[in-house]
Amino acid sequence: MAECAADLVSIAAYVYWADQLVTRGGNADVYGDSWRRSFLMCVPVSDPDCWNDRNVRKRLEDVLAFLSDDVWSFHFSRATFGEQLCLDTDPSALRRNPDAVLLFSGGADSLCAAVEAVTVHGAKPALVSHWPAHFVDHRQKALLEHLRRRVSSWGFPRTNILVNKAHSRERDTTQRTRSFLYASLGAGVASALGISDVILADNGIVSLNLPINDQLLGALASRSTHPKFVWLFNRLIDGVLPCRPRVRNPLWNRTRAEALEALKRAGLGGLLQETNLCAHGRGLPNVTPHCGTCSQCIGRRFASIAAGMREFDLAERYKTDVFRDDLTGNAVTMAESYARFAREATMMSEEDLFDAYPQLADCILVDDPSPHLTAAELAGMVKRHAVQTWGVLQAEVAGASAELVRHTLPPTCLIQIAVVRERREA
């Protein structure tokens, strides 16, 4: 059993490494002609007969194809001693008898899931973190210390695992296969601990990651916790891990703001300011650890305001205040697209949403006993997100009325963009 889990993690590590070292065409490939890549990987494992099984190999290739939008083929050979990754867990986890494994990234959603699991459901999760660089590990440790001080009913034992390419520089930064590595680490540790419940948490809007503009197609829209990815991953580990741990996302039907409610209910809103999952956070100073213009930062700003947690997510903590600062280049496109998506979705019926975003159909799984209810749940969540987002933007515009009259706001801040667009469409 331990060998199978170690095999799974080793395969995921090799995939993660290859994903970053093979370019998708770069900035010169403006039409995405070279976006989809083909990989043939020969991987050493402890049980090649298991992994070379036609059904197992097909399931592995299917989950990676959906996740990265690439073509994957594998051949497995027998590993020699010492080639496998070690899955040593925090010794305190065994002493405390945890009943779940929770993937702890250092972002807001995994924090919310951890807090809710303990304070609402009485669970005892062992945390598993992946860190590719020391600054990520430092942020995760700092957040964990705050969590342990504020929630004394559980010690939150944590296993932190370093997986990164050594002595090589990435040629592609999309990292679409990172969630496969993350889920594999969680399933591997759960298998080692004899635990069946693996929590991989992301709010539903991030999980669906609908394309908010025409440039976000295929795997350009990340599928890191997409319901179909979770289903395909569980189908894979059913065939390779005897204890059959199940990965689940408890936040799949909640908006970003609704996910943050878990912190408010527990009286732990202050922990939000200790989280960070900025896509461009490397090298930013501690006083402004968020770039403010990536999709994660923009979504976080809107969600914290919608959840009534503005005081725990101050604008001063962002390098760029998307509402009031001058935006340039991709930042303008991202901010405007985010607002336009919300405005348009508020006016759509549930049927209209499925017509406008056929990607929603990928979330209805083949074994779903109530596909119509799931469809209504997903569309309802998207609608609530749109209403919350548009409401925040309207309130920000209203609150900036004096600045708008005095013309003191830059023309490319989101508030000005929203006002100009409303006038144009009025």
User: Does residue 125 sit in the same domain as residue 246?
Assistant: yes
Confidence of residue 252 (pLDDT cuts 50, 70, 90): very high
Domain boundary among 254, 287, 319: 254
Q: Are residues 136 and 100 in the same domain?
A: yes
| The pLDDT of residue 426 is above 60 | no
Q: Does 134 lie in the same domain as 82?
A: yes
Residue 302 domain-assigned (yes or no):
yes
pLDDT computed for residue 173 by the predictor: 57
- 259 domain-assigned: no
Say whether both 297 and 150 belong to one domain: no
Share of the chain above pLDDT 90, in %: 73
Q: Quick one: what percent of the chain has pLDDT higher than 70?
A: 88
pLDDT at 218 over 50: no
User: Which CATH number do you get for residue 233?
Assistant: 3.40.50
Give the model's pLDDT for residue 65. Answer: 95
Task: Summarize the confidence of residues 348-377 as an average pLDDT.
Answer: 94
Same domain, 204 and 324: no
Range of the domain at 360: 278-425
Shared domain check, 302 and 235:
no
Which of the 8 DSSP states describes residue 324?
T
User: What pLDDT is stored for residue 220 in this prediction?
Assistant: 46
pLDDT value at residue 242: 83
Asked if residue 301 and residue 191 are part of one domain, the reply reads: no
Asked whether residue 271 is domain-assigned, the answer is: no
Residue 353 lies in a domain: yes
Q: Domains in the chain: how many in total?
A: 2
Asked if 8 and 103 sit in the same domain, the reply is: yes
**Concatenated DSSP letters for 218-235?**
GGGS--TT-HHHHHHHHH
Tell how many helices (H) and how many strands (E) occur in the chain: 16, 7
Residue 31: band (very low, low, confident or very high) from pLDDT cuts 50, 70, 90: very low
Range of weakest confidence among 56-60, 208-212, 385-389 = 208-212
Looking at residue 214, what is its pLDDT?
54
Place of tokens 């005095």: 406
Indicate the average pLDDT of the chain. Answer: 89
Judge if 287 and 226 occupy the same domain.
no
Are both 250 and 290 inside the same structural domain?
Answer: no
Q: Report long-range pairs for 347-353 (Cβ below 8 Å, ≥24 apart).
A: 348/383, 350/375, 350/376, 350/379, 350/380, 350/383, 353/379, 353/382, 353/383
Q: Say whether pLDDT at 172 is over 80.
A: no
| Model pLDDT, residue 94 | 60
* Selected residue with higher pLDDT from 182 and 218: 182
Answer yes or no: do 345 and 250 share one domain: no
